Amino acid sequence: MKSKLKTVIINVFLASIVLAVSLVGFLSGGTAAVSAEGENLFYGGEKSGNCVSLTFNVYEGTDVVYDILSVLDEYGAQATFFIGGSWADDNVDCVREIYRRGHEIGSHGYFHKDHSRLSYAGNLEEIRPSVKLLEMICMNKVGLFAPPSGAFNDNTLLACAELGLNVIMWSRDTIDWRDSDKKTLYKRATEDLEAGEIILMHPKAHTAEVLPDILKYIRERGLTASTVSRNIGE
């Protein structure tokens, strides 16, 4: 009973912080202070190194997230998890466990909006609360943002620059949110894989099942599965 009460209190506290941050973002929205030149936009990392990055966009699949963490532990691999604020608010313990196991936490927005349709202020209002929430949960700075569906515009880049965030896309999309055939997912993730690549995945049961084979391939190629920040040289 005490544990449930503690969880409720934490969630109420987090929600109040998010609301306050969102209101600040709304009130401060306006003309951007930087120019949109794309310096903070990445589709891949350093091709001269040996890193590749597995990224997981998370708005669901809590149980599968834990399965993925177990596989990553088994292979000594690091990954970057782009987490939606609305999911994080309901899964605080899971977010902390991801971070505790040495993985990188990035923002995936708060409500999975289409950022290509948002104004500068709208992008700030959607991204800033998610970043603050994740930073509060993990007690660590968040420096990356992955737009849902890969949808962004200049306002997104401007807003992220204002918040000190790099915008992360991908060089390979497993499309595991739609397709479940493991051979297909494996091929999309591994065929002619090179250093610097960023592989997009989601917490799906079939993804967790094929992940060991993908990590074996990465190891056999002499590559290292590491975080996006390390991959892009941050």
Assess if residue 22 is contained within a domain. Answer: yes
**DSSP-based three-state secondary structure for 164:** coil
Assess if residue 170 is contained within a domain. Answer: yes
**DSSP-based three-state secondary structure for 133:** helix
**How would you class 53 by CB atoms within 10 Å of its CB: exposed for 0-12, middle for 13-18, buried for 19 or more?**
buried
Assess if residue 159 is contained within a domain. Answer: yes
Assess if residue 140 is contained within a domain. Answer: yes
**DSSP-based three-state secondary structure for 23:** helix
Assess if residue 155 is contained within a domain. Answer: yes
Question: 157: closest CA among 170, 147, 171, 149?
Answer: 147
pLDDT for res 38: 60
Assess if residue 36 is contained within a domain. Answer: no
* DSSP character at residue 41: E
pLDDT for res 39: 85
Q: What is the CATH number of the domain that holds 205?
A: 3.20.20.370
Per-residue pLDDT tens over the stretch 160-173: 999 999 999 999 99
Assess if residue 133 is contained within a domain. Answer: yes
* Residue type, position 215, single letter: L
For residues 121 and 113, give the distance between their C-alpha atoms in angstroms, rounded to a whole number.
14
Task: State the residue range of the domain holding 97.
Answer: 2-29+41-231
CB proximity list for 207: less than 8 A, separation 6 or greater? 64, 68, 174, 176, 185, 201
Assess if residue 166 is contained within a domain. Answer: yes
Neighbours of 137 (CB within 10 A): 23
Q: Which residue has the tokens 């569906």?
A: 149
pLDDT for res 28: 39
Task: Give the chain's domain count.
Answer: 1
Phi first, then psi: give them for residue 51, nearest 5 degrees: -95, 140
Run means of pLDDT, 10 residues per run, the chain, 234 residues: 49 50 40 50 93 98 98 98 98 98 98 97 98 98 98 96 97 97 98 97 98 98 97 89
